[in-house]
């Protein structure tokens, strides 16, 4: 039995299956090497390591270089990290280095962030153009602004996108899915009814699994191995076997991020 949850919240995972953590901020972990080894031992077959700003992107690329074939980098500019003093440098760095990455991200919009909406939209639009130029999928943060983010991604002509930790409107899910975009599930399924309702409605063909490491989910401090928790919770809310979900979401991740050699 694999035990992932601490204290009174501990639940057992009957069996681990080969899965991909499609969204982890590995650079923010106190011991990335230990977490990566733990994930490998826990049937995680790949990690998409996600950057948020210039420093984060640099660290993420370095970690990925040290773990070829297992850690795959995505570089981005998170709406929480926007800084006018660093915008041009960060965008130029992303444009130069994106060819070595499997995705652009984490990028997007957040209407609870301090940065003005107009500025967020302007930066997001520039980032989408970079993704389009390099033909890379986009990992989208869209808290409280799902419809606008979806519209901007679609209008930019981006062919592959992931609406990460999807907890948005249920009526938007068919539109996102019809465009061939993906939505991802996190361990927040353990307790968040809004996330659970959304993921229950996402077609399995458009679903990805993630941890958003190192987010704290109540008493669970996420690490990439906890994508197995996400898997089990998705199985619970969708009423589908964990084995079937693992197989389909792994196939989805390989297609989305071009991970053909896994």
Q: In this structure, are residues 116 and 140 in contact, taking their beta carbons and an 8 Å threshold?
A: no
Q: Which candidate, 45, 52, 74, places its Cα nearest to that of 61?
A: 74
Q: Which candidate, 237, 141, 150, places its Cα nearest to that of 188?
A: 237
Q: Which residue has the tokens 């302007």?
A: 122
Residue 262 in domain: no
Question: Residue range 48-74: average pLDDT?
Answer: 98
Say what the pLDDT of residue 15 is: 84
Residue span of the structural domain in which 92 resides: 2-257
Rg (CA), the chain: 17
Say what the pLDDT of residue 2 is: 45
Number of folded domains that form the chain: 1
Alpha carbon distance 99, 12 (integer Å) = 40
Residue 124 in domain: yes
Question: b vs e for 75-89, b when ≥16 Cβ sit within 10 Å of the residue's Cβ?
Answer: bbbbbebbeeeeeee
Q: Which CATH number does the domain housing residue 16 bear? A: 3.20.20.140
Structure confidence by residue, pLDDT tens digits, 201-231? 999 999 999 999 999 999 999 999 999 999 9
Say what the pLDDT of residue 76 is: 98
Residue 22 in domain: yes
Q: Is the confidence at residue 181, as pLDDT, over 50?
A: yes
Residue 84 in domain: yes
Question: Residue range 133-148: average pLDDT?
Answer: 96
Q: Is the confidence at residue 50, as pLDDT, over 70?
A: yes
Say what the pLDDT of residue 261 is: 81
Record the pTM: 0.94
Structure confidence by residue, pLDDT tens digits, 93-124? 999 999 999 999 999 999 988 889 999 999 99
């Amino acid at each position: 039995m694999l035990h992932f949850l601490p204290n009174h919240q501990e639940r057992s995972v009957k069996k681990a299956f080969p899965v991909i953590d499609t969204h982890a901020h590995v650079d923010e972990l106190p011991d990335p090497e230990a977490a990566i080894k733990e994930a490998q031992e826990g049937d995680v077959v790949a990690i998409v390591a996600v950057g948020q700003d210039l420093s984060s992107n640099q660290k993420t690329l370095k970690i990925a270089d040290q773990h070829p074939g297992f850690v795959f980098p995505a570089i981005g500019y998170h709406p929480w990290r926007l800084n006018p003093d660093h915008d041009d440098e960060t965008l130029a760095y992303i444009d130069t280095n994106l060819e070595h990455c499997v995705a652009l991200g984490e990028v997007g919009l957040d209407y609870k962030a301090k940065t003005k909406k107009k500025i967020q939209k302007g930066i997001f639009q520039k980032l989408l153009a970079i993704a389009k130029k390099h033909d890379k999928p986009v990992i989208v943060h869209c808290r409280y602004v799902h419809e606008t983010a979806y519209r901007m991604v679609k209008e930019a002509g981006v062919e592959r996108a992931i609406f990460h930790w999807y907890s948005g409107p249920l009526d938007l899910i068919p539109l996102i899915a019809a465009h061939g975009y993906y939505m991802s599930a996190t361990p927040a399924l353990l307790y968040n009814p809004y996330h659970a309702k959304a993921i229950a409605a996402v077609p399995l063909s458009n679903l990805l699994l993630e941890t958003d490491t190192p987010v704290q989910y109540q008493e669970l401090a996420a690490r990439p191995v906890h994508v197995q928790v996400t898997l089990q919770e998705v199985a619970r809310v969708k009423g589908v076997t964990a084995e079937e979900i693992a197989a389909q979401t792994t196939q989805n991740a390989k297609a989305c991020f071009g991970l053909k050699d896994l």
